[in-house]
A and B are shown apart, each in its own frame.
Chain A
Amino acid sequence: DTAVSQTPKYLVTQMGNDKSIKCEQNLGHDTMYWYKQDSKKFLKIMFSYNNKELIINETVPNRFSPKSPDKAHLNLHINSLELGDSAVYFCASSQAWDNEQFFGPGTRLTVL
């Protein structure tokens, strides 16, 4: 009965490759997010989707592309991976903008 799940938990890949991270929430929430946590633990919003529509797109390279096939899923595709993309990526969801955001367990991406 996991609320927000992400796959894979760990992802190790070579520079230049393309990879995807999947996120699913079973909470019935309308809004989903992607955050990046760097090596210094700093968390920054990347994208936010509300009812499958992109509502926030922070300054993120266009190599990163979110895709929301339905309200319960928000996947993150990354093209031409670079060393600097190594980080932990968290998916989250919420029912309304002032409510608690529920976070997934994170995906640790390592680019070699």
Chain B
Amino acid sequence: AQSVTQLGSHVSVSEGALVLLRCNYSSSVPPYLFWYVQYPNQGLQLLLKYTSAATLVKGINGFEAEFKKSETSFHLTKPSAHMSDAAEYFCAVSGGDSGYSTLTFGKGTMLLVSP
């Protein structure tokens, strides 16, 4: 079964600093990969997705992620953090080994942004 690992349950950055949230997946077949953001007491919102086109994917709010097959990674980055970026971020995978039309989520990373 495929899985997703997010390194670090919490990541703290200062406003204006680089944001890097790590995600690794396990799948023998390249899957589709997603990053979702969850603000407090809200549902999940898609930031960006990789579906076997360009390996560098740009999303909303200045976020981007790069699919690296050799490293089985899909890390999320943003050059300059803003206070409003503070939220829980989830990496998710679909397709690949499972063939299911579903999402397998990582355990999430809470991004904390300090002034």
Contact = CB atoms under 8 A, between A and B. Distances in A.
Interface of A: 4, 31, 33, 40-45, 48, 50, 55-56, 90, 92, 94, 96-98, 100-106
A43 B101 contact: no
A44 B4 CA distance: 12
Contacts of A45: 102-104
B88 to A, nearest CB: 6
Interface stretch (B11-19, B39-47, B64-72, B78-86): B39-47
Interface of B: 32, 34, 36, 38, 41-46, 49, 51, 88, 90, 94-95, 100-105, 107-108
Contact of A105 (B42, B100, B101, B105): B42
Main secondary structure of the interface of B (DSSP, over half): strand
Nearest to B36: A103
B51 A98 contact: yes
5 contacts: A41-B38, A50-B101, A90-B44, A100-B34, A104-B43
